């Protein structure tokens, strides 16, 4: 069996490589959905949709396709990727001094079906200066990330977190690895 990542995310690729997997990347054309009051349903639906979309495009069935989706939730509101720089500034300002939750859903699809699960982490930001937020947004780094930040960027120093660091980055490898190893 070969592994296919149904994501163009460089962070997900990096996590899989660091975990020692050999894989190819196929971007999914699945149109993401949003269930405004249910982040878990949102990330699971999107992860399954991406994995099954890519699996359906493959020429052979000897593959495991990994799909994933990450959202940030603050005050019951799901925050995805920023629409533009102003949206990123607004999001980071709202996260400043607060604790939010990061959910990542993942799905592993084979010819036998799909296995899905999710991980949850809590992240607390210190109060961020407006200049810090502006400089980070101007760097362009937050523009393709749920919640408008990347823990791995090192630019926004978080105060604390609970749960998986890899989940916050976008792929909870410690939950995925046992399932993936059993399939490969």
The token pair that represents 4 in the structure block: 């296919």
What is the rounded CA–CA span in Å between residue 100 and residue 60?
41
Residue with token string 């490969």: 184
Catalytically active residues, by annotation: 69
The backbone region for 23, taken as left when phi is positive above 0, alpha when psi lies in -120 to 50, beta otherwise, is beta
Q: How far apart are CA 173 and CA 15, in angstroms?
A: 7
Residue 178: closest CA among 100, 127, 95, 117 = 117
Contacts of 22 (CB under 8 A, 6+ apart): 3
How far is residue 103 from each of residues 38, 113, 122, 124, measured CA to CA in Å?
A: 11, 23, 9, 14
User: 40-55 burial, b if ≥16 CB within 10 A, otherwise e?
Assistant: eebbbbbbbbbbbbbb
């Amino acid at each position: 069996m070969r592994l296919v990542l149904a994501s163009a995310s460089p962070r997900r690729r990096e996590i899989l490589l660091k975990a020692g997997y050999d894989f190819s990347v196929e971007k999914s054309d699945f149109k993401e959905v949003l269930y405004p009051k249910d982040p878990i349903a949102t990330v699971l639906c999107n992860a399954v949709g991406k994995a099954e979309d890519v699996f359906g495009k493959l020429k052979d069935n000897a593959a495991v396709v990994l799909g994933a989706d990450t959202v940030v939730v603050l005050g019951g509101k799901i925050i995805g990727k920023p629409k533009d720089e102003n949206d990123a500034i607004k999001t980071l300002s709202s996260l400043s001094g607060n604790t939010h939750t990061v959910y990542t859903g993942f799905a592993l699809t084979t010819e036998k079906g799909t296995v899905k699960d999710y991980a949850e982490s809590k992240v607390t930001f210190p109060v961020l200066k407006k200049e810090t937020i502006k400089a980070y947004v101007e760097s362009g780094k937050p523009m393709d990330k749920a919640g408008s930040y990347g823990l791995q960027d090192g630019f926004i120093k978080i105060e604390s977190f609970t749960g998986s660091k890899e989940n916050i980055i976008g792929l909870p490898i410690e939950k995925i690895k046992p399932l993936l190893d059993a399939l490969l």
